[in-house]
Amino acid sequence: MSEVVSYYDDVPRCSFCGKTEDQVHKLVTGSNVAICDECIELCVDIISEDRLTQADHDSVKLISPSRITSFLDNYVVGQAHAKRTLAVAVYNHYKRVNMQIVDGANKLSHAIKASDDLLAEVEISKSNVLLLGPTGTGKTYLAQTLARIMNVPFTIVDATTLTEAGYVGDDVETVLQRLLNAADGNIERAERGIIYIDEIDKIARKSGENTSITRDVSGEGVQQALLKLIEGTRATVPLKGTRKHEEQEMVQIDTQGILFICAGAFVGLEDIVRKRLGKHALGFGADWTVSEMSDEQLLEHVTAQDLADFGLLPEFVGRMPVVASLNSLNENDLIDILTKPRNALVKQYQKLFAAEGTELVFTDEALHAIAHLALERGTGARGLRSIMENILEESMYVIPDRDDVLRVVIDEQVVQGHDSAQLELQ
């Protein structure tokens, strides 16, 4: 009976509110339909509200740096400076990710309503993290714990297993495939995850290396291949297998929201720092404290140029603006690791023995002996579990077949292999 566009005296009206073009600023007309600028703004507001609701659902729940550090203290002993640096970096990264999600939801309304905010067009760059420190100081465990705090997917990859595309080995894109698997195939969750690349120092090109005609496929070439992923790009990733297989099902993953944490021991980097600092400490009145600095103190003064001199590409270093060094662990630190964290190894084995109705006790001398043994082996905290397994193997073998053991006592002689664990019977 009536058209979608109402015409009274040949005057077009908005199909939604019925206002004429004289009553509104703008009336957009089409074939038998029209809409005014006021109704367009109303529709934009409705759609934007829905998008913001979805954006809030997709956002990562932010935890303040101080709370992140407090949480880390429950699981990781020492390394206060590294914890603080990581906490700030992770908080800022996911704040940036959330801001991008909200900005994306607001794009439609921003297109309709001009913003006077001078910061509206400012884009925040990614700040990936580089961890320096000896093996067994907790670099990997820190990253794992951070991922658990933020409730995001996490994967670990060894840089030495990666090669350039087209060569035997893992392409750098397989790193994203592992993260996607950790996210149970959910692309949106994977795009908010953390990728930990270990042994990154092993792909640094040392001076004088690679002078042969053979191509470097696992060193500088891998750094080049990682550049785009770390900076932020849309990468094509196979769901299964590798891109070397034809007819693979592929998906697109945006790495803008993925936090990359690279880590390595960087043996010899302290000599580069010492040499650089020493150049400024020559002549009369020179400060000789440079020569007295420990390796750990020197690593606290690392610059981008030092890392480039070590063999990392300057472009690669530029994508790792947050650098944190971890200190070597001493005997007291290792004892604290054994006993204090929420998931301390001693507590874990005590829980295993308690399930058999047996109490497990370590003397103070035994704990010192275990820590001393780990230091002798040069494995740091990483070697503590294997030492504990070796010490407790006999007891864990015997206890399940007995119901008369009240307590198992581990002393220094047991740790050193001179005696068996003491079994106190009921």
Q: For strand 33-36 and strand 129-132, is the pairing parallel, antiparallel, or unpaired?
A: unpaired
Smallest CA-to-CA distance from 280 within 309, 301, 304, 296 is with 301
> What angle in degrees, to the nearest 10, is found between the helix axes of 80-112 and 139-150?
40
| Three-class HEC string of the chain | CCCCCCEECCEEECCCCCCECCCCCCEEEECCEEEEHHHHHHHHHHHHHHHHHHHHHHCCCCCCHHHHHHHHHCCCCCCHHHHHHHHHHHHHHHHHHHHHHHHHHHHHHHHHCCCCCCCCCCCCCCCCEEEECCCCCCHHHHHHHHHHHHCCCEEEEEHHHECCCCCCCECCHHHHHHHHHHCCCCHHHHCCCEEEEECHHHHCCCCCCCCCCCCCCCCHHHHHHHHHHHHCCEEEEECCCCCCCCCCCEEEEEHHHCEEEEEECCCCHHHHHHHHHHCCCCCCCCCCHHHHCCHHHHHCCCCHHHHHHHCCCHHHHHCCCEEEECCCCCHHHHHHHHHCCCCCHHHHHHHHHHCCCCEEEECHHHHHHHHHHHHHHCCHHHHHHHHHHHHHHHHHHHHHHCCCEEEEEECHHHHCCCCCCEEEEC
Q: What are phi and psi of 409, to 5 degrees?
A: -110, 125
Q: Please state the residue numbers annotated as binding site.
A: 14, 17, 36, 39, 134-141
Taking a C-beta distance cutoff of 8 angstroms, is the pair 268, 209 a contact? no
Q: Please state the residue numbers annotated as binding site for Zn(2+).
A: 14, 17, 36, 39
Q: Please state the residue numbers annotated as binding site for ATP.
A: 134-141
